[in-house]
Chains A and B, each alone.
Chain A
Amino acid sequence: MLETTSRARPVAGARPVTRKPAKIRPAIGYVILCLIALLFLSPLIYMFATSLKPPAEIFSVPPKLIGSEFRWQNYQEALNYMPFLKFMGNGLLVSAAGTALTLAVSAFSGYAFSRQRWRGRNLVFMVFLATLMIPQEVLIVPMFVMMQKVGWVNTFQSLIVPWAFTAFGAFLLRQFFLGVPQELDDAARVDGAGTLRTFLLVMLPLARPTMAVLAVFSFISYWNSFLWPLVVINDVNNLGTIPLGLQMFFGQQGNQWHLVMAASVISMAPTLLLLILLQKHLVKGIVTSGLGGR
Chain B
Amino acid sequence: MTLLKSAKPALAEAAAGAGTAVGKAKAEPDAQLGRRTMWGPAFALPHGLGLAFFTLLPIVVSLVISLFNWPLLGTPKFLGFENYLRLFNDPIFGQVVRNTVLFVILYVPLNLVVSLGLAAWLTPRIKGRHIFRVIFFIPSITPVVANVVVWRMLYQPGGFIDGTLQSATGVSAPNFLGDEHWAMMAIVVMSVWQGFGYNMLVFSAALDAVPENLTEAAAIDGANAWTIFWRIKLKLISPSIFFGTMMTLITSFQVFAQPFILTKGGPGSATSTIVLYIYNQGFQFHQLGLASAAAWILFVIILGVTAVQFLGQRKWVHYDA
* Nearest-Cβ distance from residue A237 to partner chain B, whole angstroms: 17
The residue from B40, B61, B139, B291 contacting A121, defined by CB atoms under 8 A apart: B40
**A113 lies within 8 A of B137 (CB):** no
A47 adjacent to chain B (CB < 8 Å)? yes
B185 contacts partner chain A, Cβ-Cβ < 8 Å: no
Pair A7/B144 contact, Cβ less than 8 Å: no
Number of contacting residues on B, CB 8 A?
Answer: 118
With known contacts A131-B56, A227-B257, A137–B298 Cβ distance under 8 A? yes
Interface contact A4-B205, CB-CB below 8 Å: yes
A136 to chain B, nearest CB (A): 8
Tally of contacts, chain A with chain B, CB under 8 A: 336
Report whether over half of chain B's contact residues are helix, strand or loop; otherwise say mixed: helix
A79: interface (CB < 8 Å): no
The contact of A138 among B137, B154, B261, B295, by CB within 8 Å, is B295
Query: In the docked arrangement, what's the CA distance between A7 and B207, Å?
Result: 12
- The answer to whether A122 touches B22 (Cβ under 8 A) is yes
Complex CA distance for A272 and B78, rounded to whole angstroms:
49
B91 at interface, CB cutoff 8 A? no
Instruction: Indicate if the CB atoms of A139 and B141 lie closer than 8 Å.
Output: no
Contacting pair B208 A62 (CB below 8 A): no
B residues near A (Cβ < 8 Å) are 3, 6-12, 14-15, 19, 22, 25-26, 30, 32-44, 46-48, 50-51, 54-59, 61-62, 65, 70, 118, 121-122, 124-127, 130, 132-139, 141-146, 149-154, 156, 158-160, 163-164, 166-168, 193, 198, 201-202, 205, 208-210, 212, 216, 219-220, 240, 243-244, 247, 250-251, 253-254, 256-257, 261, 275, 278-279, 282-283, 288, 291-292, 295-296, 298-299, 302-303, 306
CA–CA, A129 and B11, complex, Å: 9
**Inter-subunit contact B135/A142 (CB<8 Å):** no
Proximity bits, A2-26, B CB within 8 Å = 1, else 0: 0011011111001010000000001
Residue in A109, A185, A257 whose beta carbon sits within 8 Å of that of B47 in the complex: A109
Tell me if B149 and A135 are in contact (CB < 8 A). Answer: no
Choice from B37, B154, B240, B302 contacting A195 with Cβ under 8 Å? B37
Residues of A within 8 A of B145 (CB): 224, 226, 242-243, 246-247, 250, 267
Q: Number of residues in A with C-beta < 8 Å to the partner? A: 119
Between-chain CB contacts (< 8 Å), 24 pairs: A7-B3, A8-B208, A9-B124, A9-B125, A29-B121, A30-B127, A33-B132, A62-B166, A109-B46, A118-B44, A126-B19, A134-B299, A138-B62, A138-B296, A140-B282, A143-B58, A145-B61, A165-B47, A169-B47, A246-B145, A250-B149, A268-B142, A271-B142, A290-B11
Bound Cα distance A206, B211 (Å): 30
Does A196 make an interface contact (CB < 8 A)? yes
State in angstroms the CA–CA spacing of A29 and B139 once bound together.
24
Which partner residue on chain B sits nearest A46 by CB separation?
A: B160
Tell me if A208 counts as interface (CB < 8 A to partner B): no
B11: chain A residues at CB < 8 Å are: 129, 132, 171, 289-291
Contact assessment for A139 and B146 in the assembled complex, using a CB-CB cutoff below 8 Å: no
Is A146 interfacial (CB-CB < 8 Å)? Answer: yes
Bound CA span A250–B251, Å: 25
Check if B210 sits within 8 Å of A226, measured CB to CB: no
Q: Smallest distance from the beta carbon of B189 to chain A beta carbons, Å?
A: 11
Considering the chains assembled together, what is the distance between the CA atoms of A229 and B161 in angstroms?
Answer: 32
Query: A193-206 toward B: CB 8 Å interface, digit per residue (1/0)?
Result: 00110010000000
Chain B CB within 8 A of A141 CB: yes
